[in-house]
Structure 1
Amino acid sequence: MPPGKQPTLRQRRLGAELRKLRDRAGLSTNQAASRLGVNQSRVSNIEAGRYAVGPDRVRAIARNYACADYSLIEALVGMTGGRTRGWWEEYRGLLPHGLLDLAEVEHHAAALRVAQALHIPGLLQTAQHARALFGDAVPPLLPHEIEHRQSFRIKRQAVLYGDAPLRYTAVIHEAALRMQVGGPTVAAEQLAHLAEMSQLDNVTVLVIPFGRGAFPGSGQGLDYASGPVAQLDTVQIDTEHGSEFIDAAAQLERYRTVLDRLEALALSAEKSRALIHQAAARA
């Protein structure tokens, strides 16, 4: 099977984790190739996510690398195969790759924790709120680009519903509740929707009020997706130039600590909902 031309984030992550196993085993790519009975370029392509591997191959790699963490091995096995043909694939070529990667991460996450200082998290936005945000993008988006991004954002929200909805915890600063995105009517509808979503069994919305003062982090959007094992967690950061994905162990620990502190600063879910209703009444 030839190497894939455009590996997804999930394929790249699988390759990166296999590379970590090789590094822990103290093996060069040549040594690993010899043990696996393949050439060096095959090992390099696998580790770059350009070559799809199956469950048996992953188990063989782990065995040859002397990995005894069976929970991790089986989690990696769950990541095997070619590109996941998820719903987001229909947007390939229409939207930046980072957005497709985010949808794929959310789809496979065991749970999701997010933090936003100035915006309502994307999975909790109404269509009109999202449209207003995209309408203010720099550089400006064309009308059809706004439509694609709006529909994509709404489709991402499906992970919060269904038979196995994603466990979702969102920490929002009160500033985000006071932003008049799209004008008073759109803002009021957004806050009503946020309060309604906060009552779902799998959704927790926590608000940090102005009175709490300083809070950790830079205020940029943060998504923390839990994997089947902690080593496979993923952090996504919003930046002006697009999404940045982080999976280094030290950084994962740092962002877990940031989220823990943010959640500790926030009001309880019940008091947060009351503050959302209060903001809606003033919108």
Structure 2
Amino acid sequence: MQVKSNLGPVGPLPRPRRQPPTVRLRRLASELRRLREDAGLSQTEVAEKTDVNLATLHRIETAKAKPQLRTLNALLDAYGVTGDRRAELVALQREAKQRSWLQSFEAGLTDQYTALISLESEAEQATNYESLFVPGLLQTEDYARAVIRAVLPTATDAQVEDRVAARMRRQALLEGETPLRLWAILDQAVLCRTVGSETIMSDQIAHLAQQGSRPHITIQAIPFSAGAHPGMLGSFIVLKFAPDNPDVVYIDSMAGDLFLDKEADIQRYNYMYEHLRAIALSPAETLALLASSCEDH
């Protein structure tokens, strides 16, 4: 028997939603793993010493599960952690599942999208390459609505509006005293493709020019004259966090969304981004291209 999901008919019943790990949970997992290694203990030895199940310990150290307070205290006792350091880790455990405004949207969003929003909200910097769309953080409401309707043709009006509202809410990251630092590189095709209507595109490009003049937002375009380049393989985002929190690469594709945090993957995408920056127009040249594109639309 088939059931209907938010976006249409699917096969088997969906699995229960699994909340994506927050940056705090990832940091807690990393700190506990480091403390165990510094103590010279294997996971098996810790399991025997604390009566914490070995499988549970593995899930805690890989950020797949939040430790209960009594479990955390048992681990910290085993590692000899006291004082301010212990208080810091207990605070991380308490805050590890904070979801803030995202909770009100999660019912209509995919696990992958909620994971992106959650990690993005805790990042200090995002480097984003886009080959087909304006980055979500820089989209106008009308452009976002037109894009979502196009890529999710079976979505209801209510589902589209929920997505639009979530996308607009994300953009609050670019405001405030300590906004997210955003560096966006776009292929020129993004500016030439008419999404929604000529009016929507004209407004969108004018919005890009306005945002690109802000001190914490940098926009570069790769002109058609640059020819083939590594970004033609697809769009990606590298989220960068405070020290001791590893970067995360997010890739959105038809085959599914991916989150990569292995050091080799992060280095590869950071290197690719540097190459794209080198072949792109300068920010000033990009603003001139935006002005020209706006006139064309």
Shift of 1:100: 1.2
Give yes or no for the alignment of 1:49 onto 2:64: yes
Count of residues in correspondence between the two structures:
273
Residues 25 and 93 of structure 2 are in contact (CA less than 8 Å); yes or no, is this contact kept in structure 1?
Answer: no
Structure 2 spans left out of the alignment, 5+ residues: 1-16
**AA paired with 2:154?**
P
Residue 77 and residue 127 in structure 1: after superposition, are their counterparts in 2 closer, same or farther (change >3 A)?
Answer: farther
Give yes or no for the alignment of 1:148 onto 2:141: no
Q: Secondary structure at the match of 1:245?
A: strand
Paired position in structure 2 for 1:221: 235
Residues 183 and 217 of structure 2 are in contact (CA less than 8 Å); yes or no, is this contact kept in structure 1?
Answer: yes
Residues 22 and 28 of structure 1 are in contact (CA less than 8 Å); yes or no, is this contact kept in structure 2?
Answer: no
Map residues 179-258 of structure 1 onto 2, 5 A cutoff: 179-229=193-243, 232-258=246-272
Give yes or no for the alignment of 1:8 onto 2:20: yes
Distance 1:231 1:65 in 2: 23
Computing the radius of gyration from Cα coordinates, the structure with the larger value is 2
Distance 1:33 1:222 in 2: 39
Distance 1:62 1:120 in 2: 50
Match of 1:96 among 86, 89, 110: 110
Map residues 267-282 of structure 1 onto 2, 5 A cutoff: 267-282=281-296
RMSD over aligned CA atoms reads: 3.2
**AA paired with 1:97?**
D
Match of 2:121 among 107, 120, 125: 107
Shift of 1:123: 0.3
Distance 1:92 1:42 in 2: 26
Distance 1:16 1:24 in 2: 12
**AA paired with 1:193?**
H
TM-score, reference length from structure 2 = 0.80
Distance 2:265 2:77 in 1: 25
Map residues 112-191 of structure 1 onto 2, 5 A cutoff: 112-191=126-205
Residue 37 and residue 149 in structure 1: after superposition, are their counterparts in 2 closer, same or farther (change >3 A)?
Answer: same
Paired position in structure 1 for 2:30: 17
Residues 246 and 261 of structure 2 are in contact (CA less than 8 Å); yes or no, is this contact kept in structure 1?
Answer: yes
**AA paired with 1:86?**
S
